[in-house]
Structure 1
């Protein structure tokens, strides 16, 4: 987790109090929407990944999930699921550029652990996130 946290800090400028649960939300999202065998393999390879997931679970989304779920039928499930994730991240204080940088780093790190084939399987299951997969944001965005 330390390596992933360092990458996210560098890409987003977030401090640990926001970065750890933000990573946890991304991992939870992957666990809920990507093939279980790939995500289980990924989480098992990230030391202290469950610490991030617990930190995410401990954060409130201030009703964002319920509000978005109420209009799920209007936009399609994939985009709505992405909106729920970005709402949770926004509640942690992330702006749009930071969300993109966070997801880019998480997926780049995932690729280093589960390989391009694993990320391809995730891409197939979550096509609405494909813009974040395989991209990294090395420079800190203007925040």
Structure 2
């Protein structure tokens, strides 16, 4: 996860804490709204992502309120709202999301990541 976090910090020009929060939001969103089998494959292919998602590292500010939009079924718009609430501009949201997608493709493969993106309404508009 450190490689991904560092990459996001460099590309988006955001702090490490903000990058961690953003990745946590994105992973929780994908885990909730994506096809479980494929999302699990991607999470398992990214070193440290499973522990990160389960709260062992980063995403520490998520908790109940951090995941509220996802829990209420707001999908991509809920995740977008969470990302802007941690202080990201729309441009930064796109940069962060694109970095997560690119990294996931490097680790898990293009096809599986593209399948996940296509299966979640509204996600392709951000990516």
TM-score range, shorter chain: 0.7 to 0.9
Secondary structure of 2:47 counterpart? coil
Secondary structure of 1:108 counterpart? helix
TM-score (norm. length: structure 2): 0.80
TM-score (norm. length: structure 1): 0.72
Q: How far did residue 12 of structure 1 move?
A: 1.1
1:128 paired to 2:122:
yes
Distance 1:21 1:44 in 2: 19
Secondary structure of 1:112 counterpart? helix
1:105 paired to 2:105:
no
Q: Which runs of 5+ in 1 are unaligned?
A: 70-76, 134-143
Secondary structure of 1:56 counterpart? coil
Higher gyration radius (CA): 1
Distance 1:128 1:9 in 2: 25
Runs of 4+ with deviation above 6 angstroms: none
Distance 1:95 1:40 in 2: 29
When the two chains are superposed, the root-mean-square deviation of aligned CA atoms in Å is 2.5
Distance 2:88 2:50 in 1: 21
